[in-house]
């Protein structure tokens, strides 16, 4: 069915389509309200090397140690350390420890598009406070985990890599993209159901209407077509006139004795010989030639 055919069906069954559309709007609004709003917050950590570098000797006096700017020592080791921290934070046990058992709050930790010594933390929760608080927990866990890993490796404390909070937990913002997607999917499905129900109702009603009309026609009786006119046959000379039947019967079989009178068998059609009328030649009164009497 084309577009205009669909429009005609919807216009014909508007009392079915209109309530269905209104119900679709109500259900879409219910879906929008029932789906919880998610809130998002984020924070950033940066890893830095110690000012004295990665080597330490107990024989060297502190004043003799060559110190450099930690921001000028970003090398591959810091990137590797940041990737190690992302793997630790991605552990499901760590996620349960930070978010809580049965919580819907989630977080992600990655090194971003540049893959450097930056660690990006992003959280989602059902409330702004929960999202922002979870960022703080992840940042603290990351700093503590970095120190614990270096202690476990027996690294000199003077050479520890430090993690600085570059961006504090941001104010949580509402994310309605998920709710909009849910509402859009529900609306599309409900509209398809509306069209299907309208067409189904239209088909059923048309069938019932045809059956009702057919039953009424059989009950009342259809008018009979008029009888064709009687065929006139030529009659031989000397016979009864066209349409007349011997015995006074009428052409339709009803005679003077009332309806239902016996109708004589129909005469066969005359052939060419029967149609020819033979007239004898007249005999002259007197012969035209002389006889013996003359």
70 near 50, Cβ under 8 Å? Answer: yes
pLDDT at 287 over 60: no
Residues 260-273 have pLDDT tens digits of: 455 555 666 666 55
Where is pLDDT greater, at 91 or 283? 91
Q: What is the mean pLDDT of residues 50-69?
A: 64
DSSP state of 287: -
pLDDT for 23 equals 87
Structure tokens at 103: 């919580």
3-state secondary structure at position 86:
helix
pLDDT for 289 equals 53
Output phi, psi for 95, to 5 deg. Answer: -65, -40
How is the chain split among helix, strand and coil, in percent rounded to 5?
A: 45, 15, 40
pLDDT at 116 over 80: no
pLDDT for 190 equals 87
The angle formed by the CA atoms of residues 165, 167 and 168, to the nearest 5 degrees, is 85
Where is pLDDT greater, at 28 or 273? 28
d(CA 47, CA 74): 8
Domain spans in the chain, listed from the N-terminal domain onward: 1-37+176-201, 38-175
Structure tokens at 171: 């104010």
pLDDT at 37 over 80: yes
- Nearest alpha carbon to residue 178 among 31, 12, 8: 31
Q: What is the mean pLDDT of residues 114-121?
A: 86
**Range in 35-39, 102-106, 109-113, 280-284 the model is least confident about:** 280-284
pLDDT at 285 over 50: yes
**What mean pLDDT, rounded, does the chain reach?**
77
pLDDT at 119 over 80: yes
Q: With bands split at pLDDT 50, 70 and 90, how would you rate the model's confidence at 283?
A: low
52 near 67, Cβ under 8 Å? Answer: yes
Please give the span between the terminal C-alpha atoms of the chain, in angstroms, as a whole number: 113
d(CA 192, CA 230): 64
Could you tell me which residues come within 8 angstroms of residue 115 by beta carbon, excluding any fewer than 6 positions away? 79
Q: With bands split at pLDDT 50, 70 and 90, how would you rate the model's confidence at 231?
A: low
Residue spans of alpha helices (H) in the chain: 3-12, 14-34, 76-89, 92-99, 128-152, 177-220, 272-275
pLDDT for 266 equals 61
pLDDT for 249 equals 47
- The separation between CA 255 and the C-alpha centre of its own chain, rounded to angstroms, equals 76
pLDDT at 191 over 60: yes
Whole-structure pTM value = 0.55
Q: With bands split at pLDDT 50, 70 and 90, how would you rate the model's confidence at 85?
A: very high
Q: What is the mean pLDDT of residues 141-151?
A: 91
d(CA 216, CA 213): 5
pLDDT at 147 over 80: yes
How many C-beta atoms lie closer than 10 Å to residue 67's C-beta?
10
Q: With bands split at pLDDT 50, 70 and 90, how would you rate the model's confidence at 210?
A: confident
Q: With bands split at pLDDT 50, 70 and 90, how would you rate the model's confidence at 56?
A: low
135 near 42, Cβ under 8 Å? Answer: yes
d(CA 20, CA 77): 63
Dump the DSSP string for 38-80: EEEEEEEEEEE--TT-S---TTS-GGGS----GGG---HHHHH
d(CA 212, CA 161): 89
d(CA 21, CA 187): 10
Where is pLDDT greater, at 236 or 11? 11
pLDDT at 29 over 50: yes
CATH 3.30.70.1130 for domain 38-175: yes
Q: At what angle do helices 92-99 and 76-89 cross, to 10 degrees?
A: 70
3-state secondary structure at position 52:
coil
């Amino acid at each position: 069915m084309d577009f205009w055919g669909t429009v005609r069906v919807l216009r014909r069954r508007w009392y079915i389509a209109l309530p269905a559309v209104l119900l679709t709007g109500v259900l879409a609004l219910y879906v929008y309200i029932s789906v919880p709003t998610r809130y998002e917050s984020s924070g950033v950590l940066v890893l830095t090397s110690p000012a004295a570098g990665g080597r330490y000797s107990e024989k060297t006096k502190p004043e003799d140690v060559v110190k450099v700017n930690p921001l000028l020592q970003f090398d591959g080791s810091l990137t590797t350390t940041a990737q190690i921290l992302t793997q630790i934070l991605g552990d499901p046990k760590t996620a349960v420890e930070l978010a809580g058992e049965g919580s819907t709050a989630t977080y992600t930790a990655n090194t971003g598009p540049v893959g450097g010594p930056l660690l990006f933390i992003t959280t989602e929760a059902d409330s702004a406070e929960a999202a922002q608080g979870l960022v703080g927990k992840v940042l603290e866990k990351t700093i503590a985990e970095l120190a614990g890993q270096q202690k476990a490796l027996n690294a000199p404390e003077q050479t520890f890599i430090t993690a600085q909070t570059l961006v504090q937990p941001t104010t949580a913002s509402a994310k309605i993209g998920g709710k909009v997607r849910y509402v859009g999917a529900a609306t599309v499905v409900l509209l398809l159901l509306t069209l299907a129900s309208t067409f189904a109702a239209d088909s059923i009603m048309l069938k019932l209407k045809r059956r009702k009309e057919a039953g009424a026609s059989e009950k009342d009786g259809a008018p009979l077509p008029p009888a064709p006119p009687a065929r006139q046959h030529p009659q031989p000379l000397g016979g009864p006139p066209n349409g007349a039947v011997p015995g006074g019967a009428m052409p339709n079989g009803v005679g003077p004795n009332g309806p239902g009178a016996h109708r004589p068998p129909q005469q066969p059609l005359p052939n060419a010989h029967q149609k020819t009328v033979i007239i004898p030649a007249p005999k002259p009164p007197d012969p035209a030639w002389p006889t013996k009497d003359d």
